[in-house]
Amino acid sequence: MRYKLTFVVGLALGYVLGTRAGRERYEQLKKSARQVAQNPAVRNTAETAAQQSREIAGKAFHSVSAKVGDRMPDSVASRVRSLRERSQADGADDWGTSNT
């Protein structure tokens, strides 16, 4: 019972302190997050990370394909091929970044 009471008191205290900070603090945090996201250095780093992850995924795909070979069921192999062809045709990934 003691732990339940401590939890409820902590929850109530957190709620009161959170509501006192209110909308102004939320807007400040949102503005700061937007500024960080729009920073060219952050955007370049994110693009570089996305490009490197695509390269690593491609290498892993070739490595696994070479080891698995013909042991993969046809249904899985056709799905992987169709997904890969579709992603290469688009020129962009699901993250909205380009392959440039």
**Rounded distance, CA 91 to CA 93, Å?**
7
Give the number of C-alpha atoms closer than 13 A to the C-alpha of residue 97, restricted to the C-beta side: 15
- The encoded tokens of residue 59 equal 């290498």
In the prediction, which pLDDT does 57 show?
86
Chain centre to alpha carbon of residue 75: 28
pLDDT at 22: 76
Please list the ranges in the chain whose pLDDT falls under 50: none
Query: Model-level pTM?
Result: 0.44
DSSP-based three-state secondary structure for 91: coil
Q: What is the pLDDT of residue 88?
A: 60
For residue 73, the model assigns a pLDDT of 74
pLDDT of residue 5: 78
8 Å CB contact between 99 and 92:
yes
